[in-house]
């Protein structure tokens, strides 16, 4: 009789209502916990950066380097390079006067692309280029246009995103990542980085830009301070203290850099306050490791970031602004050629074409269109990166 009474009481409408809501509440909590875990951004690696920790020269991480003499025929000469791409047996250079020059990997001139003008299939100027590795086509930044070039150099298309930008990078997923240098009239796009799909529909945005005051102030382009490498979609934050990465449809933090000094990331036409700050900071990833380069006072430093959150700092620096695979490529200028070689290779044992090296060390005035391609070692304890 007691058992029957208890069963009847438990199954009353009131108790059934209470039990149902208890169960529902538990389910809601479990779903919320799962949702939080799904939406949680990946673990962020942190590194402490100090120039005081530099004990070894940067030459210790150099495996080898090659001098590449570019052919200097008419139309092939350039005074400076905004971007150098080394891919599929070709060297592609965006010159300071907005020409695209294409050489073989051994330096023979193949052709130039120059469509400057104000016509429908022309551009006024180019600030940067990146490579679509799938099609082999080049994508250029033209201030307010994305310009896509066929492999032969003709313009396939020009797209206007509706805002001014400094650079554009094609991501591994076929999305566009825009680097917006300064705020504009369109408040929805006043962000440092804007991610869109191939039809320019907004996907994500990050790091709202502050307004800058004072004569000559401008921001470094964040994509210019990181190498726009196909398949490695990363970039610096405004203050150079975070490396962000694109994962599917989101811009997420991946590496946090804790400096022991202030980072001065703004350029000025006057006399900037360099003293006591880290400046001229850049970041890149090879197939083997992550690197950071910065200047403190008049000295440069290179940082290798290891997987166990250790940062190894070296005296001296290499130019990491043009990086493909495990190599860095930069143009050579006669005024500081010997100084660069002293940094890379003080013992003169790592050059793959030593005769050419000796010739230009003895005759620096003869240096014209010359590149250095540098390969670095995989530092001990640094596993291959897999993003």
How would you class 259 by CB atoms within 10 Å of its CB: exposed for 0-12, middle for 13-18, buried for 19 or more? buried
| C-alpha–C-alpha distance, residues 213 and 85, integer Å | 35
Assigned token pair, 293: 């380069």
pLDDT, position 24: 52
| C-alpha–C-alpha distance, residues 23 and 275, integer Å | 63
Strands 45-49 and 250-259, by their bridges, are parallel
| C-alpha–C-alpha distance, residues 148 and 261, integer Å | 41
Q: What is the mean pLDDT of each run of 10 residues along the chain (387 residues)?
A: 32 50 54 44 84 95 94 86 86 91 93 83 86 87 87 88 85 86 65 87 81 51 67 80 86 92 67 77 84 92 86 93 82 91 96 96 92 83 43
User: Does 45-376 carry CATH code 2.60.40?
Assistant: no
Q: Classify the phi-psi angles of 83: left when phi > 0, otherwise alpha if psi is within -120 to 50, otherwise beta.
A: beta
Q: Nearest CA to 301 among 289, 291, 313?
A: 313
pLDDT, position 212: 54
Assigned token pair, 251: 């811009």
| C-alpha–C-alpha distance, residues 238 and 222, integer Å | 7
pLDDT, position 220: 52
CA 334, distance to chain mean position in Å, is 28
Domain ranges for the chain, please list them.
45-376
Q: Nearest CA to 231 among 180, 191, 175?
A: 175
Cα distances (Å, whole numbers) of residue 132 to 91, 128, 151, 291: 15, 14, 10, 24
pLDDT, position 70: 94
| C-alpha–C-alpha distance, residues 282 and 290, integer Å | 11
Q: Are 228 and 320 in contact (CB under 8 A)?
A: no
Q: Nearest CA to 290 among 307, 278, 275?
A: 307
SS3 26: helix
pLDDT, position 300: 95
How would you class 315 by CB atoms within 10 Å of its CB: exposed for 0-12, middle for 13-18, buried for 19 or more? middle
Cα distances (Å, whole numbers) of residue 240 to 262, 266, 280, 281: 10, 11, 10, 7
Instruction: Name the phi and psi angles at 107, rounded to 5.
Output: 110, -5
């Amino acid at each position: 009789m007691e058992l029957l009474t208890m069963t009847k009481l438990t199954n009353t409408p009131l108790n059934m209502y209470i039990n149902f809501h208890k169960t529902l509440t538990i389910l809601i909590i479990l779903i919320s916990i799962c949702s939080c875990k799904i939406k949680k951004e990946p673990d962020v690696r942190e590194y402490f950066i100090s120039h005081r920790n530099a004990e070894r020269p940067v030459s210790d991480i150099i495996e080898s380097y090659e001098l590449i003499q570019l052919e200097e025929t008419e139309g092939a000469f350039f005074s400076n390079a905004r971007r150098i791409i080394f891919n599929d047996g070709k060297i592609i250079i965006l010159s300071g006067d907005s020409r695209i020059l294409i050489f073989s990997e051994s330096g023979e001139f193949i052709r130039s692309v120059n469509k400057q003008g104000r016509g429908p299939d022309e551009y006024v100027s180019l600030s940067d280029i990146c490579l679509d590795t799938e099609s082999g086509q080049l994508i250029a930044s033209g201030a307010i246009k994305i310009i896509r070039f066929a492999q032969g150099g003709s313009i396939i298309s020009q797209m206007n995103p509706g805002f001014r930008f400094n650079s554009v990078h094609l991501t591994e997923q076929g999305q566009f990542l825009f680097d917006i240098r300064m705020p504009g009239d369109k408040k929805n796009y006043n962000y440092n980085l804007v991610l869109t799909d191939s039809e320019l529909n907004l996907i994500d945005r990050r790091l709202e830009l502050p307004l800058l005051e004072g004569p000559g102030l401008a921001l470094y382009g964040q994509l210019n301070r990181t190498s726009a490498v196909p398949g490695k979609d990363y970039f610096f934050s405004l203050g150079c203290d975070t490396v962000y990465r694109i994962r599917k449809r989101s811009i997420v933090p991946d590496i946090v850099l804790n400096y022991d000094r202030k980072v001065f990331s703004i350029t000025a036409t006057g006399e900037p306050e360099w003293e006591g700050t880290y400046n001229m900071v850049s970041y890149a990833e090879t197939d083997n490791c992550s690197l950071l380069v910065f200047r403190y006072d008049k000295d440069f430093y290179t940082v290798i970031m290891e997987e166990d959150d250790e940062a190894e700092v070296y005296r001296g620096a290499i130019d990491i602004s043009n990086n493909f695979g495990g190599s860095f490529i930069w143009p050579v200028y006669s005024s500081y050629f010997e100084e660069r070689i002293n940094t890379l290779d003080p013992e003169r044992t790592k050059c793959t074409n030593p005769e050419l090296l000796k010739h230009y060390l003895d005759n620096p005035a003869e240096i014209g269109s010359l590149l250095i391609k540098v390969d670095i070692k995989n530092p001990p304890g640094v596993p291959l990166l897999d993003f």
